[in-house]
Structure 1
Amino acid sequence: MNIWLGFSLGYSVLAISTLIRTLLAVFKKIELNPGGSSFDESPHFSDQAKKILIQHYSRIQGTLGFWKNQAEKYKRFHYYCMYWTIPASIMIPIITQWIDGQPYSKWLPTIISTHTAILIAFHNGFKVDKNFKSFRHGESDYYDLNRRLLDRPETFGKTEDERLNNYFREVEIVRRFVRNAETDNLPMVEDVKNNTIAK
């Protein structure tokens, strides 16, 4: 077998196989991790406050699961793109120096360039890095608020009602931040076209 053809087939098989593994991981549902002791065991709140906090968490639990799954999905695709595009940017200039008159010698740089261009277009068009940061920060910010309320409730106010109201207000801010980031980062046809043309 021609060595150029062998390298081209090897690269294609490796790229496709890792993409399949990435897609399987992307569409795999991630469950929320157990959070340890929560509001029902907290010594800082009355029974009525505990009930309100538990109900509030039950309503946002689905949103937290969605954030976690979205963050994981974008993270996996982000790293897939990084692991392929960075080596490709180094390989292409080197490989082009070895191109000879054989037709197969042009296949490998063409395949690598095409693969890289597609990944960059999808990564930029779907704003993968921005979406990953938005969902990951939203999830992390919520749990930071949650832990602070459990460990240092006095930072939310002096009275129990004040603490609950301030906590709910800050959770709303986090939810609004993620929602705004999600809609701002929606892929637009114009963005995809511009990124493709630029490449």
Structure 2
Amino acid sequence: VFVEGISAAQKLTVDSKTFTFFDWWGGGLENAGDAPVVLDLPSKVVYSPHYYTPAVYPQLYFLKSGKVTGDVIENYVELDDASLLNRVKATSHHMFGYLAGAQDAAIIPGEFGGLYTQDAHPLKTTQRVTQYMIEVLKQPGFAGGYLWALNPESAYQYNPSDTVVNTYEGVLQSNWLEVNKPLLQAMTAMDSIPNVRPFPCFPEKN
């Protein structure tokens, strides 16, 4: 049984800064540690939260500074690599990553990422969030994840964090025949996840 989270208001202090935000849609599993899903059959629960990028919705915790104006963040300043990695780890841990040490169910994010090659941030914050989420997936307790999305018609409304747009990107190119090679290459970092196995799309022939 795959169990998504909810979305609720949160407050978290990271790097001596306190952020107020809503969980990503389907990402909030803060209460699952105290109230886990229990089935009659053991070892059948998989927590499947979501974790996205600024292309889905700009977040102050992905940035060094900026001013929230409506749904965008103006005058933003991007974080260095180490600081952004720490923010991704801290926020994902707060939402659901802590479950890896709180119970025995596997964690497999049902959706993560969002926009990659078209990232308009000068320091590629959207790209880096996807890359750093893959680093989170390599931690004990996680068992892989599902990148959003194969579909090249997936739309993203923010690029960069201060601009409302309507941008499309997926693992497949817009002709549905060719692959988005830079995004596919980024996904190869998942190959080092322990016990990773190919998932066959079609029955194997003997």
**Structure-1-length-normalised TM-score:** 0.25
Structure showing greater Rg: 1
Per residue, is there more strand in 1 or in 2? 2
**Structure-2-length-normalised TM-score:** 0.25
Structure with higher RCO (Cα < 8 A, 6+ apart): 1
